[in-house]
Structure 1
């Protein structure tokens, strides 16, 4: 059975709001990694069993946010 259209739309809006908030916070940060490094880190996260939705269940961070910051490490040492 498929999900109702209203529920799907509400989830889409929630995801967009999260992304906007992450982008806003990242605009205030000074020590960001390059897009190449961020993409490599995100690809590792996407294959990780601890990623639940957009959140790392080991550290509680949004993967998009944590992978963008130069001073952050993977909580289970999967990033190079």
Structure 2
């Protein structure tokens, strides 16, 4: 009582905590996977040149606004 283990971590996100969690998962029973119908993957949405130009223009406006704010408070 009253001593610290030099080789044990005091922080909950340490590797030793991770190892204990993995050991728990390895020892746990695994339920069989349920087969489901796989939906086909749709094509990624595409943006038009006009939409891209509008997005980039808005990004430029936001960047300019942030730059002005930083100049005022910097």
TM-score range normalised by the length of the shorter chain: 0.3 to 0.5
More strand by share: 1
When normalised by structure 1's length, the TM-score is 0.32
When normalised by structure 2's length, the TM-score is 0.34
Q: Which has the larger radius of gyration?
A: 2
